[in-house]
Every structure is written in structure tokens, then in C-alpha cells.
Amino acid sequence: MCGIVGYVGPQGALDVVLEGLRRLEYRGYDSAGVAVLSDGELSTAKKAGKLANLEKVLAEEPLPSSTIGIGHTRWATHGGPTDRNAHPHLSADGKVAVVHNGIIENFALLRAEIEATGTEFSSETDTEVVAHLLAAVYRETPAGEGRLAEAMRAVSRRLDGAFTLVATHADEPDTLVASRRNSPLVVGIGETADGTAEYFLGSDVAAFIGHTRNALELGQDQVVELHRTRGATVTDFAGAPVEPTSYTVDWDAAAAEKGGYPWFMLKEIAEQPQAVADTLLGRLGESGELVLDEVRLSDQELRDIDKVFVVACGTAYHAGLIAKYAIEHWTRIPVEVEVASEFRYRDPVLDRSTLVVVISQSGETMDTLMALRHAREQKARVLAICNANGSTIPRESDAVLYTHAGPEVAVASTKGFLTQVVACYLVGLFLAQVRGVKYEDEIAAIVDDLRRLPEAVAKVLEQMEPVRELGRELADANTILFLGRHVGFPVALEGALKLKELAYIHAEGFAAGELKHGPIAVVDQGTPVVVVVPSPRSRNSVHGKVVSNIQEVRARGARTIVIAEEGDEDVVPFADHLIRVPRTPTLMAPVVTTVPLQVLACEIADTRGFDVDQPRNLAKSVTVE
């Protein structure tokens, strides 16, 4: 989950690396550091805290000019967020600099081996073992072209766990090498205005999007050498050549900027109508059939599916809970929703008739990736819902549906969640189409309903000032409860998660029907209770039961905050605060009812003086288990 940047080319490396780190600071902000290579010597600067702390150090003590460098923003795992644990880490001879994302599981064994040679460590990190190993192996590797890459391959073969490593050596002033296993890394290929080639490395493409949109995918257990004149060379850990897949990033640097908003999260909330529209764009073929991005499964294989698992973490898990309602309703296939970190450890029953839908915004979520691999080992089919083209999860899946949400920088997911929900609807409809349980005109009608969602979300956003005012009023609350039924229950869970992530307030989401089975005991005078009310128009609606729940908590002193569709008058007498959303089909209601909860959490956090984009202890992409 750390941010990594590397550069070799004609530009000033430090400026390029710092620019990349600014774009990647959402991935890790416990500390930051850089290393540049100039006149045969490595120079480093690193500082605990956010990137601004490092920039202050560099302003006071500038590094020498250089055209090759690496940088890192850290989310601490081994060792606290201190100056000495910040990356890059140097070898004992000062010739190797390394940055790292992930966890090296056998680092203790390797550290003991290195310390036995008399080498002293200067940090508590697992990363430093790599710097010392790489220096030792490099000394033993015959001189010649590709020497540093060969040393990196040898070291990588000794490491257990998940890692992305980027290294430079004082004796090779034109070369960067990088290695990846179970951790994200992409290569950027660009050229300056005069046609000079330049090369970039990044944890994701945001690191270099200001310079090039041309990228290379790196696969599992691969090493890349970036040389100023020889270009990019990719091999596996054994040294066999690999032909990497190239692709073009479909968004630009402006999409990763705040655009005048005080927080990235506010910008991304405002982008949700367009993100939902883009996710739906081009999904119907010329003859009316639904089309997914990339499906490597035959129609017959999908017809053979008799069970669906949806596997995800955090916010994506809540999208999966909503998916269960839609997929079961439209296809009549039983669906289970699993937390990815628990999935493989409970030994689920999987076979070739099982479809596992994995959801990950980044495509690199480690728990989800491991669940995916377990599913494939059991011969299950895997379909990925993802926002990051070229990331690991879609590459290793049998099918993928990209959400096309554009970059999401704020740690708390907003447009990522809404587009995941919409993508889940599309998966359900696609299965219904292939299995013949819905006709083309039925699917087209549902897609038309989906296409009206961007307008509905935009309408919600136009009416958010009272919600912001409410957020400012609730900033001193110690506990806020969220209630919902049917698809409103996952929305309640998501609302509570957003509040916990951003405002550090105790918040819980409950199925409203469970209220009398325990949760009502925590309701006291003035306790804010947010209730997501289902439409009274739907068949078998539990609307009346939820209205009763509102009365129950209100009778016990709760301050009721009710989210209900336009025209629902039954809730009016019992709502201390009423938030209206447009009428939508029942299954699609989460796309509009979630938005006020995002705005509410953001406003409460901002009022409490917290960093909305970078909440404490969290990182955007969880790439370790």
C-alpha cells in the first residue's frame, strides 16, 4: 500500500519523483523519502510524516542534480513511522538504494543471516534486508550488461511474501531495476519534446500520468530493467525474457487534481454522475445484447454456473452485499457474499460450476487477490470488477468488467463504490441474458433504468446543503447508528464505515429488523439514528416495518435522520431531519441513498478538523494481508 516512484531520463529526477509522490501520497503517508544518483554517489533524504515534511527538508538541504532517482511514501508495517524507518534504505557500503511496497515474510531469517556477517542494521524494517542482500549479490555477480537486474532476480528468488522492489546502484548510473510479486508495479514509457526517451516506475499510473499515458503491465514474479539507452527489458525471476503487455491510460493528469475542491473526496463525490454514466457506456450491443469488457468464458460455461460467491473487502464488500439482491432476483442463482480475508481459510466448497465475482477498485487488494487464486486452484470461474486497467486481479481472472470511474485518490471510496454497485447490476443482467431467464427487451428496459441513475445522482448532489449543515451539527456526536432493510441494509453498513473512516466516530450499521434483538439498547436521548427507508411502491415492501422502527427509536429519544424517496409522506411525522432522494427502482436505490451518507461523513470529519482525504491509519490500496 506504499507509494513508489522511479525515473530515468533527461529531466531532473527529483522534480519528477516528487511530483509522482504527491499523486501517490494517498497510498501511504507515514513517511516519505527519495534517493538520487549523481557523480557515482547516492544521496538520500527522508522524513517521518507527510510529504510536506520531506519537501521542507529538501528546501533546506537540496540534493544534487540528477536524472535518475527513486521515491517512496510509506504506510508502516515493520517498524514505526520514524525517520530511520522511512525509505529508501541503503546497503552498508552506501552503493544500493531500495524502496519497497509489501511485506517480506522471511525477513527475520534473512536479517539474522546478514547480521551474522557483521553487518549492522539501521532500521527496524523488513526492507533493509533487501538492500544488504542486493549489495552482497551484486558484488558476486560478473560485471557486464544487466548485472543489477541479475542480482535483483537472485535476491527476489530468496524472498517470501508480497513485494515490489525498486533499486538503483551507484556503479550503474543509467539503470533502475524493479521486481514484483503480489504487489502492484507499472512501467511508463515516454519521451520529451525533443524526442529523448524516458522511463518511469510507479505503484500505479498516477505516478507518471503527467508525463505519459503509455504503460507496460508487469506480471507476477517479473523483473524489469530500465536503462537510459537500452530501454525496458523484462524477465521472469529465472531470467527468461518476457514480452510485456502495453496499454494506454484513458485519463489524464487533470483527472488526478482537485479541480478547485478543498478535498479530493468532495471532487470524487461530485464526479459520481459521470462515473456511473461512463460505467454504463457501451454496454448494449447493436442487437440489444449486454456486453462486458473482457470475457474469457463461454456462454455454456456461464450456463453451467449453479452458485455465485461475491468476494471483496471493506466498501467493495458492501457493493457485493447489494449484488446478492440483484443477482439472485434476476437469475435465481444462489449467491453468497464473503469477506475476502476469510474466504479461503474457511475452505469454501468450490468447483467448475461456481462463479466467484471479486471486487477491487485498485485490482491489487491482497486479500481479494489471494481469494481469487484460491478459487482458481479449486477450478472455479472468476469474474473481476475493477477500476484499474492492467492491474493484477483482472489479469488473473477469467472475465473482467471495468468500472471506468477514473482515478480515485481519497482513501474513502465514493465513486468507486457507486460504480462497483452498477457493475454488479450489469453482471447480474449479463448472467440473466446468457442463461436465457430474461429477454433482450427486459434487459434493455433495466439498462434504461440504470441509464437514468446519473441524472438521479446529480439531483441528489444539488440538494446537499442541508446535509452539510446537519453534518456540522452532528460533529460532536459520540455515536451514530445507521439502520436499513433489504438493499438499504448494505447502505447503512457503508454509511457507518464512511463515518468511522473519516470522522473517527463510533458508528454501526444494522439491519432494521434486528433492532429489537439488541441494538436498540444503545439508543439514548439525542442519539443520532440514520434510517434508510425503502420505497413504499415495491412489491413485498418492508416500508411499513421500517417506519415502525423509526417510531421505536424516536420514542427512546433518538434524533432521527431519515433518507426517503420523493413522495413518501408516511415518514414525515417521525423524521427530525428528512433527506429526499429521487424515486428509483428498488434494487437500484443504493446508488442514490448512499450519496447523502458520503456527504454527511465528509462534512462531519471536516468540521472536526480531520484530513478527509488521508484518514489516520488507513491507505487507499491494501496490498498486504
Name the residues annotated as catalytic.
Answer: 2, 620
Q: What's the CA gap between 486 and 475, in Å, rounded? A: 29
Under DSSP, the state recorded for 1 is -
Secondary structure element (H or E) that encloses residue 543, with its range: helix 543-554
- Determine phi and psi for 489, rounding to 5 degrees: -65, -50
| Burial class, 42, CB count within 10 angstroms (exposed 0-12 / middle 13-18 / buried 19+) | buried
33 residue type, one letter = G
For residues 438, 484, 424 and 309, what is the CA-based torsion angle, rounded to 10 degrees? -90
* Residue type present at position 332: R
Whether residue 541 contacts residue 512, with contact meaning beta carbons closer than 8 Å, is answered with no
> Considering only CA atoms, which of 518, 513, 519, 517 is closest in space to residue 532?
513
Q: Are 318 and 421 in contact (CB under 8 A)?
A: no
Q: Which residues pair with 226 in a beta bridge?
A: 176, 232
Phi, psi of 602 (to 5 degrees): -65, -45
Nearest 5°: phi and psi at 159? Answer: -95, 140
Pick from 117, 134, 230: nearest CA to 179: 134
Q: Using the Cα atoms of residue 491, residue 495, residue 501 and residue 506 in order, give the sign of their dihedral.
A: negative
Q: Which residue in this structure is represented by grid cell 468540521?
A: 607
The residue whose grid cell reads 552482497 is: 136
Name every residue whose Cβ is closer than 8 Å to that of residue 256 and which is 6 or more positions away in sequence: 23, 206, 209, 407, 409
- Alpha-carbon distance of 120 to 112, in angstroms, equals 10
Q: In what order do the strands lie in the sheet with 381-386?
A: 294-295, 399-402, 381-386, 354-360, 307-312, 335-339
The terminus-to-terminus CA distance of the chain in angstroms comes to 11
DSSP letter at 506? E
Angle formed by the axes of helices 415-435 and 590-607, nearest 10° = 160
Secondary structure of residue 17 in the 3-state scheme:
helix
Give the per-residue SS3 of 370-423. HHHHHHHHCCCEEEEEECCCCCHHHHCCCEEEECCCCCCCCCCCCHHHHHHHHH
Angle among Cα 124, 125, 130 to the nearest 5 degrees reads: 130
Compute the distance between CA of residue 164 and CA of residue 166 in angstroms, rounded to an integer.
7
